[in-house]
Structure 1
């Protein structure tokens, strides 16, 4: 009972010394602390003299262990920051412990505990407790204020709290705190405090109240700075009072306050909103004359505003002029301009802008280059897209795989597969590994161009890197390369058949005579034995199939003309039926002499049947068994397509014998 009476007397003495506006403090050092609500941490726990639960004893034990009396503000601050703040169950009782400490006669809070508590309450959005703290601070100032001057940390504490109020829209609480602070500090408040209040009102749309704070600032003889004018100019522009914004800008310069880049950006944006583009551009050049550095935001306002109004050509000239003057900021991304130009089909102009800016050191971004490459591709300007991609890679700008594959496809489509492969190797040296799509594009390009050896190198690299899953895929790729080369030779030889006896090109072909020749071939086929001697050469791998069915009618006609040439030279009847049912996987790499030698030596042949995934074992074919092995037309057509006329004629003559 003696302890209880002593505590009550101390509480009464404190209540008499406190202001009537100050909330009552905690009267006892041993409060019961129930669990806080889940939805809010703001309500202060209820104090009682008799109720002591299990949670209460844990808190008392924790308090007595880490904070022993007597303690100083430094000890309390260490306890709040290092012990209580990180405790999983007691961290929300920091303000209650703060109040409890103030009831001890031997203890008095200073600016360190005030500042930490104010910041903690503001950050955790406990604004009711923050208001209570500021009132307590006003009635119980820091011990540093006991002398002539007030504590120098009082204004920063209130400034942080006022900023927190304005940030959440509690402007009335911010004004009350501001007025309370003015009574505690020496002299006038700083311009930063007025700027915080003005910006808070402007952000909440209270333009008139912002002007009232500005007028009060002038009456208090606080000189506004560039941030004050920028906030008010932006507020005028937002409220569509651009004329007043210009007047304030003039007043700003008259009072000796130099505008910064934010001031100019705000006015340029305001000019563009009023569709006064020439005035906005003139203000940009005024920035250059005053030596005010451009920011990326400045360029974005100018370029985007002009492009939205359809004045993209003027935006291009403006950027080029700024680049030549050396005022274009580093890192400015002119992707938006590239997108607008390419979207309008003006990729050529976009390329000129990129070349000019790049030459002056303003390197475009990766997305800007990607957009430009796609715009050039859509216009069929593959050469420019190729040079831009190569320049990007040499400048360590690595495009994505999709864009890069599109460039490779464009080069291969125009017969520039060799340059496409060189570009692939350059990209690989810069860290862009080719995928299966890139390899497939190159193989298709080499196939169309009839460059078997180059294509085989790419196929072998695909095989080494695991992009060929099985032998069927490998055979398909090699078949394409083989057919491409044989088709090239085939067309070169058959063109001679379309000439007259004097070697001149015939203007037209006698279709009726050609039909009679085909009918003659079919009739002669009836008397042909089912099998005939045949020979082939090393690495000639025959693949039965129906690829010729996919050929055009012209390709079929040329194939029949080859057979007719054999008939005319060797007088041996050959049908076109077998020609239309066989294809070849790989072109023979030897010449006429080696092919003739292969025919004489009966070298073995590897055969891959339809649907088969493995090669049949090689074995020599004796001359006595060759008559029962393969069709004469198959072998003749193979030699004819893969080599030249001489081995085919030689084979046909041997068959006739």
Structure 2
């Protein structure tokens, strides 16, 4: 479509009928909508060369495109160029930039835009102020949000339902749901004056004019508080608000119904959820993917697999494609019931339909196989996961920990060694347990090799990992090797090198925080419960060798 428009534009230029700013603005709009920002910038620069003066609308088109693509610096620069050309920004220009900064959570920059806007005598509209207000609440800048509300009121902008909904949502996010509920109730009588219920700091924000009284709650107001009440577990109050909403002739949409269904199913109230579903269908609100996912989740919590499969079939009949979340619920339920083999076809179905499994999908299957001692199928799932998710740290940690828990020590050791070679962070790997188990099965050499390999690459790890190896070496009479390990352990503690990461730069180690395992010195190791008598003797011997006296 864009190429056809380009051909038409070139043809019009040749025929000398592409000459006014309106034609150029339409072409600029098309380029921006299709992501051709560089070409749009070139076209804007060409306008004066072709004897056409760009308008504020021409600049606003490109500024909007740049902001939507996160190119805020370029957008600000273009506004400066526009001013240099004698075209001053309007409310749309500033609002577009402000919205762009708010989208990127750059509240300070957005406030600067608002100040510049007002300094130039450009009056912000409610959309501008509400955009900044929303961003402030989102970032937790409550006091700044209050100040903005005051300024909005002082300058006569007034507070509309959108403003009130932003405050209601902000209160719910900060855990002040009771205040939010009270404001919604008061809005029916007092409009935006209900914000005075927030306390003295808000009393100056509101005045009982006609506009304030017309500021009534809408579906978003109720959806916000109903969701928050359910989230807090206050089901009775949530139901009351739902009834109140309908009594006020605000009829629920699919969003509110799906919110209620989700929370009921999550809390195991599946029968109540299906009653709500009937009401939803009588109101001509169609079931969506979210509806089915909530119901399948609820049935899954009750282990009603047959009914879950029925809903999956119904989804397919209605042309609603399950997503990865749907499949994960099904797979998780089957695995929990010991029916892992029935879950594998679902994984195949996902792959055939181009629905990419996530880490949680593979975690469910691998854990289920390992729990029943089926390590070969677990390895096969790991191979599939590696080809899709890559050789990730989380995947190797999962395999290592599950194989270790299942007693597959040799394979677990291989996973750990590969992880070490890949320089993964070992924080999620139970490597200390592996070292303990290797020592207990008299594979002291294997345990020693792991320690040496980790130290050679530059890992910092829990010094207690040395203890069983040092103890074992002493029992075998290998005092010299035990002494060397003890020295390395003490060096590690003194360097605070205890965070399970590989460091190539020694200087980097000296700036690391001390770990809870390291304490303020090597004495923390001596007083730990997980050491051994032989290791303690080694510490004393090494300490004396360093001329530090007795413990």
Q: CA deviation at 1:244?
A: 1.9
Contact 1:370–1:403, Cα closer than 8 Å, also in 2:
yes
3-state secondary structure, aligned to 1:399? coil
Cα distance change, pair 341–139 in 1 and its aligned pair in 2 (3 A): closer
Match of 1:166 among 230, 237, 262: 230
Q: 1:3-152 maps to which residues of 2 (within 5 A)?
A: 110-111=160-161, 112-113=163-164, 116=167, 120=171, 123-125=176-178, 129=182, 132-133=185-186, 135-136=188-189
Match of 1:263 among 326, 349, 352: 326
3-state secondary structure, aligned to 1:403? helix
Paired position in structure 1 for 2:414? 352
Paired position in structure 1 for 2:198? none
Matched, 1:176 2:243: yes
3-state secondary structure, aligned to 1:332? helix
Q: CA deviation at 1:374?
A: 1.1
Paired position in structure 1 for 2:550? 469
Match of 2:277 among 214, 230, 235: 214
Cα distance change, pair 380–84 in 1 and its aligned pair in 2 (3 A): closer
Deviations along 1:345-367, one digit per CA (max 9) or x if unpaired, are: 54223223434566678765454
3-state secondary structure, aligned to 1:125? helix
Paired position in structure 2 for 1:579? none
More helix, by proportion: 2
Cα distance change, pair 270–362 in 1 and its aligned pair in 2 (3 A): farther
Deviations along 1:249-295, one digit per CA (max 9) or x if unpaired, are: 23334444443332121101111233211012332344444444444
Match of 1:410 among 446, 454, 472: 472
Contact 2:324–2:355, Cα closer than 8 Å, also in 1:
yes
Contact 1:202–1:235, Cα closer than 8 Å, also in 2:
yes
Matched, 1:275 2:338: yes
Taking only aligned residues, the RMSD between alpha carbons, in angstroms, comes to 4.9
Q: CA deviation at 1:118?
A: 7.7
Cα distance change, pair 363–400 in 1 and its aligned pair in 2 (3 A): closer
Matched, 1:155 2:219: yes
Paired position in structure 1 for 2:392? 330
Deviations along 1:98-135, one digit per CA (max 9) or x if unpaired, are: xxxxxxxx999732346536864882425873563364
Distance in 1 (alpha carbons) for counterparts of 2:536 and 2:215: 80
Paired position in structure 1 for 2:293? 230
Q: CA deviation at 1:246?
A: 1.5
TM-score by length of 2: 0.51
Which one scores higher on RCO, CA 8 angstroms, separation ≥ 6? 1
Distance in 1 (alpha carbons) for counterparts of 2:319 and 2:263: 25
Q: 1:467-616 maps to which residues of 2 (within 5 A)?
A: 468-469=549-550
Contact 1:366–1:397, Cα closer than 8 Å, also in 2:
no
Q: CA deviation at 1:234?
A: 0.8
Q: Which ranges of structure 1 fall in alignment gaps of 5 or more residues?
A: 1-72, 87-105, 448-454, 471-657
Distance in 1 (alpha carbons) for counterparts of 2:188 and 2:465: 64
Cα distance change, pair 413–135 in 1 and its aligned pair in 2 (3 A): same
Contact 2:289–2:322, Cα closer than 8 Å, also in 1:
yes
Distance in 1 (alpha carbons) for counterparts of 2:218 and 2:535: 74
Q: CA deviation at 1:392?
A: 2.7
Match of 1:192 among 233, 255, 258: 255
Distance in 2 (alpha carbons) for counterparts of 1:277 and 1:392: 36
Contact 1:319–1:328, Cα closer than 8 Å, also in 2:
no
Contact 1:339–1:371, Cα closer than 8 Å, also in 2:
no
Paired position in structure 2 for 1:371? 433
In the comparison of the two structures, how many residue pairs are matched? 354
Cα distance change, pair 351–220 in 1 and its aligned pair in 2 (3 A): same
Q: CA deviation at 1:425?
A: 5.9
